[in-house]
Amino acid sequence: MLQFEHVALLAGRIALVTGAARGIGFATAKLFAQHGASVVLVDRHAERLNSAYQNLRDMVPSERLMAQLCDVSEENSVRDAFQAIFGKFKRLDVLVANAGVLDNALIGMVSSSQIKCIFETNTFGVIYCAQYASRLMARNRSGSIINISSILGTNGGAGQTVYSASKSAVIGITKSLAKELSSNNIRVNAIAPGFIKTDMTMSMNSEKFNERMVSIKMGRIGHADEVANVALFLASDLSSYVTGQTIGVDGGMLI
C-alpha cells in the first residue's frame, strides 16, 4: 500500500485526531506521527485509548504524544480536552474530526434516542471541535481542519436516513467553515470514505457485506490507511490551496 515514508510532511506540527483509538482514526494518528507530527489521540473509550497510545508510544517519543479522554458529543468534555491540549502544546495545527457512530434503522423504526445520539456525536461533535480548534489555530493564523463524512453523506442509503443526514450535515459544516475561516488561513475540507475495512464493517452479516462489495467498481474493500493518506495530504502543505472540498475515498462505490 502506498505510504509517504521518505519525507516528514508534518514535522513540528500539532495534530488532534478524534475517535483515534481504532480504525480510520488510529491509522491517521499513526501516519501523522510517522510524518513528524506531535499527535493528540482523543477517544471516549479509556481502555482502547490507552492501548492506542501504548501502541504509538513504541515508535514515537512521549513528548510528541498525548492521550485525551473526551466524548465529542458533550461540549464540556470537548472544552476540557482543548484546554488540556493548550496546556501542553500551546497551539494546534491540524484537527481530524473523525469520531462517529453508526446505528442503522428503517425510518419507521428510528427512535428519538437514536436520532439524538447520532447527531450529537456525528454532527454536534464536529461543530464543538471546530469551535475550539479554530480559536487555537487563529492564534497563529494557520491550520487545517479535516472532517470525516461518508459516502452515505453524499449519496444516502436505504435504512440509514439518520446517519446519512448527520454525515451530509458534516459536508455543509465543512463548506461553511471553509468560507468563514479562510481569512485566518485555516483550511477546512472533508473526506467521504466508502466501504472501509474496520471492526464495524467486518462485523456485518455476509449478505450485507457481499452486497456492498458488489457495488465497488475497484472490486475490493478499502483500508483505513488509504483514508489516512488523504488526511495526510489535506493536513500538509501539499494541499495549501485546497479548501471547502469533499474528497471521496470509495473505490468507485455506487450506492
* Residues with a known catalytic role: 163
- What is the rounded distance in angstroms from the CA atom of residue 68 to the CA atom of residue 82? 9
Dihedral pair phi/psi, residue 53, rounded to 5°: -60, -45
- Please list the helix, strand and coil fractions of the chain in percent, rounded to the nearest 5, in that order: 50, 15, 30
Q: Residue 103, class by beta-carbon neighbours within 10 Å (0-12 exposed, 13-18 middle, 19+ buried)?
A: middle
3-class DSSP state for residue 66?
strand
Pairing of β 94-97 and β 65-69: unpaired
Alpha-helical (H) ranges within 68-223 are 75-89, 112-119, 125-140, 151-155, 161-181, 199-202, 206-214
Distance set, CA 231 to CA 27, 94, 188, 224, 227 (Å): 10, 10, 11, 11, 6
Distance set, CA 72 to CA 19, 88, 117, 146, 217 (Å): 9, 20, 11, 15, 34
- What is the rounded distance in angstroms from the CA atom of residue 129 to the CA atom of residue 78? 7
- What is the rounded distance in angstroms from the CA atom of residue 166 to the CA atom of residue 88? 32
Q: Write out the three cell numbers for 227.
A: 483514508
